[in-house]
Amino acid sequence: MKLDEVDRKIVSQLQIDGRTTLETLGKITGYTNMGVRKRVNNLLESESIRISALMNLKRFNFFLAVVLIETDGPETLQRLLKRFENCPRVVYIFTTIGGFNMIALVVAEDKETLESISMEKCSLRSEKGIRRSEFYPVMDVNYSPFMPIRRYLAHKDLSVPPCRVNCKPCARYKFERCVGCPATKYYKGHL
């Protein structure tokens, strides 16, 4: 898949404002609104692009961290991927080659909760079969504070978190040092 100059202009504009009208996109490209419509529809239907809401981390005072993980083999890696597939705190999970074979970006509503997902049973690092891991709290997201936080996973209606680690028995949750999982009923935060 390759984009020509017209697609490029369309995508650039849609990155700045994903709700730009077809009329405006037409003017930018020198096409009619119907011409540009077919381009945009193609891009969307072929899944070349997606137009999506990003959240401003600064506005919401969200905290990010990068987690580096080395597993003892591919089974552990797969287990981790499966387990955190629907975790609303996971922004990205990359599998990599090199010293670490998994790198994740995770989000929390406050520092205390970030600490929970650094150490507790609900943490990526808690999985059996992890040889080594490092945890880097993010101080600044430079250039642009907008991130694709998976809000639709924070539906607050489950009784067991997607990762299957119940918050209730956790001391941090009990003593109000962690807001719990945003996908469950007993969530206490504002994600």
Partner DNA sequence: ATATTATGTTTAAAAAATAAACTCGTGAAA
Partner DNA sequence: TTTCACGAGTTTATTTTTTAAACATAATAT
78 binds, among a copy of itself, DNA, none (CB under 5 to 8 A by kind): none
Q: Is residue 166 near DNA by the rule CB under 7 A?
A: no
Q: Is residue 53 near a copy of itself by the rule CB under 8 A?
A: yes
34 vs 97, which CB is nearer to DNA? 34
8 vs 174, which CB is nearer to a copy of itself? 8
- Provide the mask over 68-107, with x wherever binding to a copy of itself is found by CB under 8 A and - wherever it is not: x------------x---x----x-xxxxxxxxx--x----
Q: Report the distance separating Cα 29 and Cα 55, nearest Å.
A: 29
Least CB distance to DNA at residue 26 (A): 7
Pick one of 6, 11, 158, 170: the residue that binds a copy of itself (CB under 8 A).
11
**In terms of C-beta density within 10 A (0-12 exposed, 13-18 middle, 19 or more buried), how is residue 149 classed?**
buried
Q: Is residue 22 near DNA by the rule CB under 7 A?
A: yes
128 binds, among DNA, a copy of itself, none (CB under 5 to 8 A by kind): none
Do residues 141 and 149 make contact, with C-beta atoms less than 8 angstroms apart? no
Task: Write b or e for each residue in 73-106: b if 16 or more Cβ atoms lie within 10 A of its Cβ, otherwise e.
Answer: eeebbeebeebbebbbbbbebebeeeebbbbbbb
Q: Is residue 24 near DNA by the rule CB under 7 A?
A: yes
Q: Report the distance separating Cα 155 and Cα 160, nearest Å.
A: 12
Please name the residues in contact with 157: beta carbons below 8 A apart, sequence gap of 6 or more. 183, 184, 185
Query: What does DSSP assign to residue 43?
Result: H
Q: Report the distance separating Cα 94 and Cα 77, nearest Å.
A: 11
39 vs 125, which CB is nearer to DNA? 39
Q: How far is CA 188 from each of CA 109, 131, 173, rounded to the nearest angstrom? A: 10, 33, 9
82 binds, among a copy of itself, DNA, none (CB under 5 to 8 A by kind): none
Residues at the site binding a copy of itself, with contacts judged by CB under 8 A: 1-3, 8, 11-12, 14-19, 46-56, 59-61, 64, 66, 68, 81, 85, 90, 92-100, 103, 134-144, 146, 148, 150-152, 154-155, 190
